[in-house]
C-alpha cells in the first residue's frame, strides 16, 4: 500500500516546483515508509510513497513502460495481475519487474482508459501519458482506496489524502457549508465533496482524464442489484455452494504478498468467515489479531478467542484500557485530515498499531454488512413496517412517544432508551431517509438550530444526496435500494476511510476480500430474500458457514466497535468538551450556535438525554478544525 500525488501545470512551458511536490509526497510518509520516488518532466510531477508488499526489490515507483512514454504512481493491489501479465506478454508486452504496478502500465497501453474494466483489485492510480499529454486517474469499484483532486488556477493536483493537497501553497482552506451540513447529518463528508471548497473526492468506480486543460470524469462500474430481481433464481443450496466457492477464491486471491499476512478477527460473522477461508487456503499458518476491552459491557473478545481455537490460528490479543483510548482522542485529527465522527476509529487505530508489530498485511471483514444486509437498522425497517401497520395510531403517535420520552437515560452500550428514541425519530420518514437518520447524527431540525442562519438554503442537502443515490439505483425493492445507498454512502464515506486512515497511519495494509470483484458480482445476483430473511440478517452467509464456524458465532447479531463515549463525556472527556465547546471559541469560529451546543452538553451531563452521537460529531470536528483549518481561517 502506498501514497500517491501529483501536479500538472496548465502552462506547458512552466516546470513543476519540485519543492512543492516533495512536500505533498512527504505529507503521506506514513502511507509508505519504505521508499519514495518522483517523476518530473516539464509541467508534470508525480510523487510516490511506498509500503513494499509485492516485488520488494524492483517494484519502486514511479514505473514506466518500455520506451518511457507512460508513467504511473499507484496505491493498491491488483489481485488478478498474474493472469493479466500472461495475457499481456502474449500480446507482445515486455516486463522489467514482477510488480502489479507494471501490469497496469501495460494494460493501459493495450486497452487505454478501458483497462479499468479488466482489473480486480483495490486501487487509486495516476498515469501520465507523455504522447497524449494526458493524465489518467482511476479509483476502484467501491472506493477502498482514496483519491482527492483539485483544479487550481494554475494547475491540477491530486493525492491519496487531503493533507497532500493542503501541502500545496495555492490551496485555500474555506469550509464548504454544504459539506459541513452533510457531515453533521452523516458523521462523514460524502463523496464527491470534501470539507474544503474546491477539493473533491473521485467517486468509486469512476475514472478521471485531464487533457488539454479540461477535466472529464466518467463512471465505469456500478452495483446492479436489479439483476437479482429479474427472476432466474437458483435453489438455496446452489446459492450456498456458490457463496462458499466465491468467498474462498476471493480470500485466496487477496493472500498474494511477499510479506507476512494476518487477519483482523473481531469474532463477528464477517471477519470469522474470512479467517475460516484463510485457514482453508493456508492451513496452520494463519495469524489472527483482536482486541479486548477493559469495560466488560463493550468486551467481546471471547468470540474472537472461540473462532481462533476452532480454526487453530496463531492468535494475538491486546486489551484496550480506557486510558489508552482516551489518550488517543486529542490525536485523532493528526491522521484524520477530514472530520469523521465514527468513534470506532479509536479501537481500529489501536488494533492496526498492534497488528503492525507482527505483519505488514491483514485481511478484514468489512463490506459484509452492505453485501448481505447485516446492519440492525435493516431489522428496524421491518419492525417499523409492523409498527406503522398494526399498532393503533393513537398509541403509536402519543402513548409510545410519551413512554419512550420518560424512559430513564442509560449510558450503557447501545442502551434500550437510546435505540427506542432513534427508532421513533425515524417514523414517518421514507425508508432511505429513515435509514440514514438512524445511522447518522444530527436530524434536519437539529442542524438548523446548530448552524443558525448558515443553514438557510442547506436544510435539505443530506436528504437530496440520499435521493440522488436512490434515483441512480436500478433496483426496485426498498431493501436493495437501502443496500445500494449504504454502498455509496456509509461504506464509502465512513467504513472504508476509517479503516484506510487507521491502518495506513500505522503503515499496515488492510485488504477486504468481501469486497473483491467476485463477491460484488455474487451480491449483484443474490436475491434480497437470502440476505434479510424475516428478521435474520446475513441469512445466506450464516447458512453457508454452518459446520464451518461455531454456532455462537453464527447466532450473533451485529455489534461493532462501540466506544463508551456517553460515559466519557460525563467523566474524563468533560474538560476537553468544555474547552472545545466554550462560547468564546465557537463565536470566534462562527460556525455553530454556542447556546445550542451548551444546551446539548448540559442535557447530556445532567443525564436528561443521551446526546453521545451529536456531541462526539461536534467534538471530532472541533479537534479537526484546530489541526487543519484554524490557522488558515484566523
| Residues annotated as catalytic (active site), given as ranges | 2
Full DSSP string of 77-108: EETTHHHHHHHHHHTT---SS--HHHHHHHHH
Cβ–Cβ under 8 Å, residues 517 and 363: no
Whether the CB-CB separation of 316 and 358 falls below 8 Å is answered with yes
**How far is C-alpha 332 from the geometric centre of its chain's CA atoms?**
16
Bridge partners (DSSP) of residue 125 are 74, 138
Residues facing 533 on adjacent strands? 536
What span, in angstroms and rounded, lies between the C-alpha atoms of 536 and 250?
A: 25
The rounded distance, in Å, linking the Cα atoms of 302 and 322 is 19
Kindly list the strands in the beta sheet with 35-41, ordered across the sheet, starting from the edge strand earlier in the chain: 35-41, 44-50, 2-9, 155-159, 148-151, 199-201
Which three cell numbers, joined as nine digits, stand for 450?
A: 446548530
What the block records as the C-alpha cell of 345 is: 476509529
Find cell 442509560 and name the residue.
Answer: 410
Please state the length of the chain: 634
Strands (E), 294-389: 314-320, 361-363
* DSSP H stretches of helix in 58-167: 81-90, 100-111, 162-166
* Distance between CA atoms of residues 524 and 103, nearest Å: 28
Q: Residue 171's closest CA among 140, 200, 188, 150? A: 150
Helices (H) and strands (E) in the chain, counts: 30, 17
Contact 36, 4 (CB under 8 A): no
Burial letters 557-592, b for 16+ CB under 10 A, else e:
ebebbbbbbbbbbbeebeebbeebbeeebbeebebb
DSSP 391-422: S-HHIIIIIHHHHHHTSPP--STT-HHHHHHH
- Where on the phi/psi map is residue 318: left (φ > 0), alpha (ψ -120 to 50), or beta? beta
User: Please, what is the Cα angle at 613 between 612 and 615, to 5 degrees?
Assistant: 65
Sheet containing 206-211: which strands, arranged edge to edge? 63-64, 70-78, 121-129, 134-139, 206-211, 214-219
Q: Residue 6 burial (CB < 10 Å; 0-12/13-18/19+)? A: buried
Q: Cα separation of 329 and 620, whole Å?
A: 9
Amino acid at each position: 500500500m502506498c501514497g500517491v500525488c501529483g501536479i500538472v501545470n496548465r502552462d506547458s512551458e512552466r516546470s513543476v516546483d519540485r519543492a512543492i511536490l516533495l512536500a505533498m509526497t512527504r505529507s503521506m510518509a506514513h502511507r509508505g515508509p519504505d521508499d519514495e520516488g518522483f517523476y518530473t518532466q516539464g509541467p508534470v510531477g508525480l510523487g510516490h510513497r511506498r509500503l513494499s508488499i509485492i516485488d520488494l526489490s524492483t517494484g519502486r515507483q514511479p514505473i514506466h513502460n518500455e520506451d518511457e512514454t507512460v508513467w504511473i504512481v499507484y496505491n493498491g493491489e491488483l489481485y488478478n495481475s498474474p493472469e493479466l501479465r500472461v495475457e499481456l506478454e502474449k500480446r507482445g508486452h515486455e516486463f522489467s519487474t514482477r510488480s502489479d504496478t507494471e501490469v497496469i502500465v501495460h494494460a493501459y497501453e493495450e486497452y487505454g482508459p478501458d483497462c479499468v474494466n479488466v482489473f480486480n483489485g483495490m486501487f487509486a492510480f495516476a498515469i501520465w501519458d507523455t504522447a497524449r499529454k494526458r493524465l489518467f486517474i482511476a479509483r476502484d469499484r467501491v472506493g477502498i482506496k482514496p483519491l482527492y483532486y483539485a483544479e487550481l488556477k494554475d494547475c491540477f493536483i491530486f493525492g491519496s489524502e487531503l493533507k497532500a493537497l493542503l501541502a500545496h501553497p495555492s490551496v485555500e482552506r474555506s469550509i464548504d457549508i454544504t459539506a459541513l451540513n452533510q457531515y453533521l447529518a452523516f458523521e462523514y463528508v460524502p463523496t464527491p465533496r470534501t470539507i474544503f471548497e474546491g477539493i473533491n473526492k473521485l467517486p468509486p468506480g469512476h475514472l478521471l482524464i485531464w487533457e488539454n486543460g479540461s477535466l472529464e470524469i466518467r463512471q465505469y462500474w456500478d452495483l446492479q442489484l436489479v439483476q437479482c430481481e429479474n427472476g432466474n433464481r437458483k435453489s438455496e443450496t446452489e446459492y450456498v455452494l456458490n457463496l462458499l466457492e466465491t468467498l474462498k477464491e476471493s480470500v485466496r486471491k487477496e493472500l498474494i504478498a511477499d510479506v507476512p499476512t494476518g487477519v483482523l478477527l473481531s469474532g463477528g460473522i464477517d471477519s470469522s468467515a474470512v479467517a475460516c477461508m484463510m485457514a482453508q487456503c493456508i492451513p496452520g499458518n494463519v495469524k489472527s489479531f483482536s482486541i479486548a476491552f477493559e469495560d466488560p459491557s463493550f468486551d467481546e473478545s471471547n468470540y474472537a478467542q472461540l473462532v481462533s481455537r476452532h480454526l487453530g490460528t496463531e492468535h494475538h490479543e491486546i486489551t484496550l484500557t480506557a486510558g489508552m483510548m482516551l489518550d488517543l482522542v486529542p490525536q485523532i485529527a493528526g491522521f484524520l485530515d477530514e472530520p469523521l465522527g465514527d468513534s470506532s476509529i479509536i479501537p481500529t487505530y489501536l488494533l492496526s498499531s498492534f497488528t503492525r508489530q507482527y505483519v505488514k498485511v491483514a485481511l478484514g471483514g468489512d463490506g459484509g454488512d452492505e453485501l448481505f444486509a447485516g446492519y440492525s437498522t435493516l431489522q428496524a425497517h421491518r419492525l417499523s413496517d409492523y409498527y406503522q401497520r398494526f399498532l393503533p395510531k393513537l398509541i403509536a403517535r402519543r402513548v409510545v412517544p410519551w413512554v419512550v420520552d420518560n424512559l430513564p437515560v442509560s449510558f450503557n452500550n447501545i442502551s434500550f432508551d437510546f435505540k427506542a428514541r432513534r427508532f421513533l425519530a425515524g417514523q414517518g420518514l421514507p425508508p432511505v431517509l429513515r435509514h440514514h437518520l438512524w445511522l447518522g447524527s444530527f436530524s434536519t431540525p437539529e442542524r438548523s438550530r446548530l448552524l443558525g442562519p448558515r443553514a438557510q438554503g442547506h436544510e435539505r442537502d443530506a436528504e437530496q444526496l440520499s435521493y440522488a443515490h436512490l434515483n441512480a439505483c436500478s433496483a426496485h425493492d426498498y431493501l436493495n435500494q437501502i443496500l445500494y445507498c449504504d454502498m455509496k454512502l456509509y461504506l464509502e464515506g465512513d467504513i472504508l476511510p476509517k479503516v484506510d486512515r487507521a491502518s495506513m497511519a500505522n503503515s499496515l495494509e488492510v485488504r477486504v476480500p468481501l469486497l473483491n470483484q467476485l463477491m460484488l458480482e455474487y451480491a449483484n445476483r443474490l436475491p434480497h430474500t437470502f440476505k434479510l430473511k424475516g428478521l435474520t440478517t446475513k441469512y445466506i452467509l450464516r447458512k453457508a458457514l454452518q459446520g464451518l464456524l461455531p454456532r455462537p458465532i453464527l447466532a450473533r447479531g451485529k455489534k461493532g466497535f462501540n466506544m463508551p463515549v456517553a460515559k466519557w463525556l460525563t467523566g474524563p472527556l468533560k474538560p476537553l468538551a468544555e474547552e472545545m465547546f466554550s462560547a468564546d471559541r465557537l463565536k470566534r469560529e462562527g460556525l455553530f450556535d454556542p447556546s445550542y451546543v451548551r444546551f446539548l452538553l448540559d442535557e447530556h451531563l445532567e443525564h436528561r438525554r443521551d446526546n453521545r452521537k451529536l456531541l462526539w460529531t461536534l467534538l471530532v470536528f472541533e479537534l479537526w478544525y484546530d489541526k487543519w483549518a484554524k490557522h488558515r481561517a484566523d
